[in-house]
Amino acid sequence: MRQTSWAAILLLMLCCPSPTLAQAPAGPPVAFAPVTAVPIPLQSISGRWNALNPGNRTRCPFTEVTGLAVSTRLILVKELDCGQVFQTANVLVNIELSNPADTVQMVTARRVAVKGVFKIAREYRAAFGGYATYMIAEKAGLVAGDPLDRSAPPPPAFTSYMMCQPPEMDALAAQLRSELCVQSTLLENLAATRPALELAVRTPAKLSPGDTVSGDRDAISCRLDPGLSGLHLQAIACARGSYWAWYHAGWNVPSPKTPAPP
C-alpha cells in the first residue's frame, strides 16, 4: 500500500470544504458559505448597495483623490465625477490598498489623499430599475494625511453604509435562512443594538424606496430587500429610522446633498 499523501488530503479539504448547515426547526438544511470564503463586498457610491465583483470596469481620468476615511477600506469624497449620472457628491470610494500596513492610517474622519488606479463599475439591478455604481481605487496607496493624535479617543462615525453578510450576523442569518444586510454603525456596539436588531429582523416590512417612512429616527427596523442590497442576495436589510428616511428622500435624487446618517 502506498503511503498516504497528507499534502494531497489537505489540498482536497481546502478546495472542497464541508458545508456548514444552518439549524432550523423544520425544512431541509441550508448550506451557507464559510465566512472566510466570502470576499469582502464593495460598496456603491452611496453605500446603499453591495457587490462582490461588479463588471464593466472602466478607467477614470484621475490618479489621486482626497477624502475622509470612513473605514479601513472606504473614503468619502465630497465631489467626484467619472461619468456617473446618478451621484457626483458625497461619493464613497472603495480603497484596495497595495500595502496592508497602511490600514492603520485609515482612521475614521481623518482626511487622507489616496493615489491609485481609479475605475468605475456598474451593475444592473432589476429590482431597482437601474444601475448601482461603484468607484474603486485599485493598487492604492496613501500619499498624505492629517496629523494623527493616537492619545485621543477614536472619533465617532460620521456616516454609514449597508454591510451585507457581516460575520457577526452569520448565526442569525442561518436561523432565518436569509442573508442579512445591516447598517454599519449598528455593528459597532452589538451589545447595545443586538436585542432590538434581532427583534426587528424577525418581522421585516415589505416597503419600496418610495414608501413613506415614519417613526422614531433611532428605532431599528428591517425590510425585505430582494435584489436591492446585493445582486445575488435575497436579503433582509436593517437600519435606524434616520437611515431609511435619508434613503426615502434621496433614492431617486441625482446627487444627494448629504451622506447617509450614522
SS3 11: helix
DSSP 102: G
133 and 206 in a common domain: no
Q: How confident is the model at residue 10 (pLDDT cuts 50, 70, 90)?
A: very low
The residue range of the domain holding 165 is 160-250
* Beta-carbon contacts of residue 253 (< 8 Å; ≥ 6 apart): none
Residue 34 is assigned to a structural domain of this protein: no
Q: What is the mean pLDDT of residues 55-70?
A: 95
Neighbouring C-alpha atoms within 13 Å toward the C-beta of 260 = 26
Q: Let me know whether 89 and 165 are in one domain.
A: no
Q: How many structural domains are present in the chain? A: 2
Residue 233 confidence (pLDDT): 54
Looking at the fold, whether 138 and 164 belong to one and the same domain comes out as no
Q: Does residue 50 carry a pLDDT above 50? A: yes
146 vs 16, more confident: 146
For residue 46, pLDDT over 50 is answered with: yes
d(CA 111, CA 136) in angstroms, rounded, equals 18
Q: What is the pLDDT of residue 207?
A: 83
Per-residue model confidence (pLDDT) at position 176? 85
Report the pLDDT averaged over residues 88-100.
Answer: 95
Please identify, among 85, 112, 145, the residue that sits at the C-terminal boundary of a domain. Answer: 145
Q: Are the CB atoms for 201 and 180 separated by under 8 Å? A: yes
User: Do 208 and 141 share a structural domain?
Assistant: no
Shared domain check, 71 and 108:
yes
CATH classification of the domain holding 46: 2.40.50
Residue 32 lies in a domain: no
The more confident residue out of 69 and 176 is 69
Residue 133 CB: number of other CB atoms within 10 A?
A: 22
Q: Which residue has the cell 468605475?
A: 120
Which of 145, 170, 190 represents a domain boundary (last residue)? 145
Confidence of residue 16 (pLDDT cuts 50, 70, 90): very low
